Amino acid sequence: MGNTEKVASTGRFGSRYGIGIRRKLLKVEPLQFQKHKCPNCGAPRVKRLSKGIFECNKCSHKFVGGSYLPQTLAGGIISKMVSQKVFVPEMVEALAKAAGEEKVPSEGGSAATEGDRPPEEVPSEKPEGGN
């Protein structure tokens, strides 16, 4: 077999699938197979069962995450915000504004009732003539 210094673990595919896909796989594989901590017990014994499903080998806690990693980038940001409670003051302000405003119909005409609308014209007869 040839030298796999540049292609590392994707050398097993040979020339199949194209270089772009193999390079993407090179970025994901080391992250996928490293030790991950369980969100329940904190032990670094999480194993990937299938796409997005992970299980801790210590406490048997099953949870979902990203396709390759137990926690996605967006999920990590949100959990950090929740733990720091950064979003709470902004959420309180938004709720106060929503509670303070009454639902007043705008003057754009979208709040018109059927009584306000002009009656639709119905054509009386078809014009006689060509067919």
Closest among 7, 45, 41 to 24, alpha carbons compared: 7
Q: Is 96 annotated as a binding residue?
A: no
Q: How far apart are CA 128 and CA 90, in angstroms?
A: 68
Q: Which residues pair with 55 in a beta bridge?
A: 47, 62
Q: Is 17 annotated as a binding residue?
A: no
Alpha-carbon distances, residue 111 vs 8, 100, 118, 119, 120 (angstroms): 65, 21, 14, 17, 18
Q: How far apart are CA 62 and CA 54, in angstroms?
A: 6
φ and ψ at residue 120, rounded to 5 degrees: -75, 145
Q: Is 41 annotated as a binding residue?
A: yes
Q: Is 38 annotated as a binding residue?
A: yes
Residue numbers belonging to the annotated binding site for Zn(2+)? 38, 41, 56, 59
Residue numbers belonging to the annotated binding site? 38, 41, 56, 59
